[in-house]
Copies of this chain bind each other. A is one copy, B any other.
Amino acid sequence: MSTDVVALLRAELGERVDVDPAALDAARSDKSGHAASGLPLAVVHAASVADVQATLRIASATGTPVVPRGAGTGLAGGANTGGGEISLSVRGMDRVIEVRPDDLLAVVEPGILNADLNALLEPHGVWWAPDPASRAISTVGGNIATGAGGLLCAKYGVVRDAVLGVDLVLADGRLLRLGHRSVKGVTGLDLTSLVIGSEGTLGVVVGATLKLRRLVEGERVTLTALFDGVRAAAVASAGVTASGAQPAVMELMDATSLAAVHRLLSLPAPPPGAAQLTVQTDGPVAAAEARAIADVLRAAGGTVTVAADAAEGEELLAIRRAMHPAMETLGTTLIEDVSVPRSALPDMFDEIARIERQFGLVIPAVAHAGDGNLHPNFVFEGPDVPPVVWDAAEELFRAALALGGTLTGEHGIGVLKRRWLADELGDDQWRLQRDIARVFDPLGILNPGKVFAS
């Protein structure tokens, strides 16, 4: 059977069907470190919409599971492909079809990287706002499939706010064009939004009409504020939001994270227990906003340093950006992704401290404090997540839900969180969502075992 599938794919797609053992092994995992069991049947390197359609027609005819894949930078195992499955890569479909600065839109293929897209858009005076930390290595299609976030979301929105339409190939190979090129449009159900964040369970994203923004004019002002502890920093960040100021970036690093990054970058050690906020303002009133924010942070007990210029500002932000490399020096990392209303940020950090004590773990945490999205990191030895880490993570999810939050702000469910999805949705909504996915994919061949697997 599996040989037949590869032969069928080969007959239609020729050399775009890859069975090289290294390629098959690479398709088993993403940046979460988790790997699917078994080797995929093949990796199909689609070069066109027709390639995607052909692959899905063969998959439907043979009942073969298909796992769509971009650059493989996901953090929830959503693109991991295992035994008996086809890995369908759209990474090679990376053209920009159309840029319309006058209509503030661009039409692109899914495989283009965020950073490459914005480099192409800049001469037109426009940009696409979604900026996950992985923006240099993640694809627009992957951003759409996961409903990605990033650092700029409180001011500039998430992926859902930045997509007008999606071209989707269904499980049976049919192509649908969802959404609009106009700012407004309410014809029937908003399937574009439904596809955003659906993690490959509804179809394969083969194109997108993106909503662009004008490049932000004016200066950028960057500042840091050092606090005695993470709770004080969290209270201060909630205070900034409550004050009405709207920073473009507001990142929080707890003491363990800050110390680890300072070690990695050979910077002087921060004061013991100190946590840090890094804030950037932009736009025509950036300087005045930065002054107002600095006042709020000082009043909250922070020691504020304002960057002298843009270059120094980038150095301050580089400390935050070095978080993941710093964690990787400590061991294998499970990056969690809870999100809470912004006023609940201090309480969520209290919960992390409680969970650290309860399970005897150290959980370095950073947060997109401007929008309430936390990334607590579990660091351990070896390739497999130890049971105690999952127990602590479960406690983390419970705490976030109790504070009115969610168990994933921007990484998605994938395989790593599927057993907790019903805890957040409730059984009724969980079943409804699964039944909707079945309308798109009656045979259940699209990314089975992800998101809705019970």
A376 at the binding interface (Cβ < 8 Å): no
A40 at the binding interface (Cβ < 8 Å): no
Closest CB-CB distance, A203 to chain B, in whole Å? 10
A187 contacts B371, CB within 8 Å? no
A214 contacts B342, CB within 8 Å? no
List which A393-438 residues lie within 8 A (CB) of chain B: 404-413, 421, 424-426, 428-430, 432-433, 435-437
Assembled-state Cα–Cα distance A118/B307 (Å): 39
Closest CB-CB distance, A405 to chain B, in whole Å? 5
B405 contacts A181, CB within 8 Å? yes
A210 at the binding interface (Cβ < 8 Å): no
Contact indicator per residue, chain A 171-194, by CB within 8 Å of chain B (1) or not (0)? 000101110111111111111011
A425 contacts B187, CB within 8 Å? yes
A435's contact among B101, B176, B186, B439, by CB below 8 Å, is which? B439
Which residues does A use to contact B, with CB under 8 Å? 100-105, 125, 146-147, 149, 153-154, 157-158, 160-161, 170, 174, 176-178, 180-191, 193-194, 196-198, 202, 214, 238, 241-242, 244, 246, 284-285, 339-343, 368, 371-373, 404-413, 421, 424-426, 428-430, 432-433, 435-437, 439-440, 451-452
B371 contacts A183, CB within 8 Å? yes
A188's contact among B103, B180, B214, B425, by CB below 8 Å, is which? B425
A176's contact among B182, B190, B343, B426, by CB below 8 Å, is which? B426
Chain B residues whose C-beta falls within 8 Å of the C-beta of A284 in the assembled complex: 284-285
Assembled-state Cα–Cα distance A104/B246 (Å): 12
A182's contact among B160, B372, B437, by CB below 8 Å, is which? B372
Chain B residues whose C-beta falls within 8 Å of the C-beta of A193 in the assembled complex: 160, 190, 193-194, 196
A187's contact among B161, B177, B406, by CB below 8 Å, is which? B406
A184 contacts B125, CB within 8 Å? no
* A185 (CB) vs chain B CBs: closest residue: B406
Assembled-state Cα–Cα distance A102/B242 (Å): 4
Assembled-state Cα–Cα distance A342/B246 (Å): 29
Assembled-state Cα–Cα distance A426/B177 (Å): 9
Interface centre among A147, A186, A198, A284, by most chain B C-beta atoms within 10 angstroms, is A186
* A188 (CB) vs chain B CBs: closest residue: B433
Interface centre among A191, A410, A424, by most chain B C-beta atoms within 10 angstroms, is A191
Closest CB-CB distance, A413 to chain B, in whole Å? 6
A186 contacts B404, CB within 8 Å? no
